[in-house]
Amino acid sequence: MKILIAGGGTLGRELVEALPEHDITLIEVNAQKVKALSQDFGKRKNFKIIEGNASKRYVLKEANLEKQDVFIAVTHDDQVNLFLSLIAKKSGRKAVSRVKEPEFIPLFQELGVDAIISPEKQAAMDIASKITWE
């Protein structure tokens, strides 16, 4: 599967590690993160990193958005993730997005994002499930 990831922070890095059998293109705006990711994953034949702003049309063109199967938006900004997910959907791609603020989840759902991940909400649910009161 061909996967395009926007955001090379902790979650983006973890996704690259978790999906070694897939063709991954990752877009990251921070030059230091690009360098670190290149050092860690650059030898993988099925990994490509692009330094740039994923919101820019020419960056998405360089990343071959039109040829990707799935687009994953994991930047630190919910509005950017929504914008990128809508571009991906408009291009006919499956869109997966991280949502940091749980109150935005209904909007992402309403606008047709295929899968929505809220690490903060998931962490709260995990913690709550581990609490036992005696």
Q: Which DSSP string do the residues of 70-100 spell out, in sequence order?
A: EEEE--S-HHHHHHHHHHHHHTT-EEEEE-S
Residue 21 structure tokens = 């059998």
Give the pLDDT confidence score for residue 134 in this predicted structure: 58
The answer, as to whether pTM is greater than 0.85, is: yes
Query: In this structure, what token pair is assigned to residue 7?
Result: 């955001």
The 10s digit of each residue's pLDDT in 70-87 is 999 999 999 999 999 999
Give the CATH number for residue 64: 3.40.50.720
Phi-psi region of 29 (alpha: psi -120 to 50; beta: other; left: phi over 0): alpha
Residues 83-134 pLDDT 10s: 999 999 999 999 999 999 989 999 999 999 999 999 888 888 888 888 866 5
How many domains is the chain partitioned into structurally? Answer: 1
- Boundaries of domain holding 9: 2-130
The pair of three-digit structure tokens given for residue 94, joined into one six-digit string: 């499956």
Lowest mean pLDDT among 1-15, 31-45, 58-72, 118-132: 118-132
